[in-house]
Chain A
Amino acid sequence: MFSSSSLPIQPLCIRIIQPSNLIKRMSVTLQCPGYPEDTLRSLAERLPCRETQLATLLALMGQPDQYSYPSVFIYGHRATGKSHVVLSIMKDLELPHASVDCVECVSSGLLFHQVLSAFFGPDAAALLPRCPSLSDFVRLYKQMSSNSPATQTRYIILDRAERMRDMDFSLLPALLRLQELVNDNVTVILLSEIVWEKFRPNTGCFEPLLFHFPDYSKAELVQILSWDHHPSYTPELYASYINILLGVFFSVCRDLRELRHLAVLNFSKFCEPLEKGEAKESDIHKLWKNIEPHLQRAMQTVYLREVSSVQWEQQQMDEKEATTLRVLSAHAHIELPYYSKFLLIAAYLASFNPARTDRRFFLKSHGKIRKTNFLKKHEKTSNHLLGPKPFPLDRLMAIFYSVVDSRVAPTASVFSQISSLVTLQLLSQVGHDDQLDSPKYKCSVSLDFILAISRCVCVCVRLLDLLALSLVIQSQVVRQERSLFTAVSNLHLL
Chain B
Amino acid sequence: MGNCSNEHRGTSFSASAASLSNPLICSSINTFFFLDKYIFSQVIQDQLNKKVLDSLAEFIKKHGLGCSSDNWRQRAREIPTAALMLGVNVPDHAMTFRSLCNLLQDSVTPFVVSVHAKECAGTFERDPVLVINLTLVCQATLTIRIIGLLQKCTQVFPQRTESLTNSDLPQSLPVVVIFKDFEAFNSQVLQDFILICSRYTQELPFIFIFGIATSPSAIQHRLPHSVSSLLCIEVFHSLSCTQHLASVFDKLILNSQFPFKLSSRVIQVLVGIFLYHDFSVQNFVKGLQFSMLEHFKSQPLSMLCCQKQEALLSAKTLSKKNVERIRHLPSFMRYVETQEPQEQVQLLTNDEHVKEVCQQLLKNLHKYHKNYYPILQCLHSLTSSLPKFPLGKHIRELHVSCIEKNLWETEEYDSALQLLRILAKDELVAALRKCAEILKSTKILQNVLQQLEDFIGRLEALEGKSETTLLEKESRRTKRMNPYEVLRSQVIEFIDSLVREYLTPAELQPLNEVCYYSSSGVLRQRLNVTPRTSIQAALSHPFYYFLKTDAGTISSAAPDLCIVYKLHLECGRLINLYDWLEAFVTVMSAAEDQDTNSEDARFIQAVSEMEFLGFIKSTKQKTDHVARLTWGGC
Contact = CB atoms under 8 A, between A and B. Distances in A.
A332 B217 contact: yes
Interface in B562-612: none
Contacts of B83: 328
A426 B215 CA distance: 11
A343 to B, nearest CB: 11
Q: Which of A105, A106, A117 has the most CB of B within 10 A?
A: A106
B225 interface: yes
A420 B88 CA distance: 9
Which of B183, B233, B275 has the largest number of chain A CB atoms within 10 A?
A: B233
A409 B160 contact: no
Interface in B508-561: 528-533
Contacts of B422: none
Contact of B123 (A106, A113, A305, A410): A106
Contacts of B531: 412
B61 to A, nearest CB: 14
Nearest to A113: B158
B218 interface: yes
A261 B267 CA distance: 55
Interface string B218-232: 111100011011011
A423 B229 CA distance: 25
Nearest to A338: B276
Given A103-B192, A305-B229, A423-B181, A332 B215 contact: yes
Contact of A409 (B76, B78, B530): B530
B124 A311 contact: no
B91 to A, nearest CB: 9
Contacts of A337: 88, 275-279
A107 interface: yes
Contacts of B90: 420, 423
B76 A258 contact: yes
A122 B160 contact: yes
Contacts of B88: 334-337, 340, 420, 424
Contacts of B614: 437
B405 to A, nearest CB: 22
A492 interface: no
Contact of A305 (B85, B220, B221, B529): B220
A410 B225 CA distance: 42
A329 B277 CA distance: 27
A260 interface: yes
Interface in B340-357: none
Given A101-B199, A424-B88, A425-B218, A411 B233 contact: no
Q: Which of the listed residues A264, A410, A424 has the most CB atoms from chain B within 10 Å of its own CB?
A: A424
B216 A331 contact: yes
B572 to A, nearest CB: 18
B87 interface: yes
Interface in A280-335: 304-305, 308-311, 326, 328-329, 331-335
B381 interface: no
Interface in B197-222: 199, 213-221
A308 B232 contact: yes
Contacts of A106: 123-124, 126-127
Contact of A437 (B76, B219, B617): B617
A10 interface: no
B229 A413 contact: no
Interface in B414-433: none
A413 B283 CA distance: 12
B196 interface: yes
Interface stretch (B47-55, B234-242, B306-314, B493-501): B234-242
A128 to B, nearest CB: 11
B528 A114 contact: no
B248 to A, nearest CB: 17
Contact of B214 (A308, A334, A409, A410): A334
B90 to A, nearest CB: 7
A256 B308 CA distance: 74
A110 B233 contact: no
Contact of A107 (B124, B153, B242): B124
A162 B287 CA distance: 53
B214 A424 contact: yes
A417 B274 CA distance: 12
Interface in A382-415: 409-414
A24 interface: no
Contacts of A264: 73
A216 interface: no
Nearest to A305: B228
Contacts of A103: 192, 195-196
A411 B530 contact: yes
A336 B275 CA distance: 9
Given A231-B72, A260-B76, A336-B88, A114 B215 contact: no
A312 to B, nearest CB: 10
Contact of A261 (B75, B218, B273, B277): B75
A264 B614 CA distance: 64
A349 interface: no
Nearest to B126: A106
Given A328-B83, A425-B218, 9 more contacts: A122-B160, A258-B229, A304-B225, A326-B235, A328-B235, A329-B220, A413-B529, A423-B90, A423-B183
5 nearest A-B residue pairs (beta carbon) = A261-B76, A413-B277, A308-B232, A338-B276, A328-B216
16 contacts: A101-B199, A114-B155, A117-B158, A304-B225, A305-B225, A305-B228, A326-B235, A328-B83, A331-B216, A333-B215, A335-B88, A335-B241, A339-B277, A413-B277, A420-B90, A425-B218
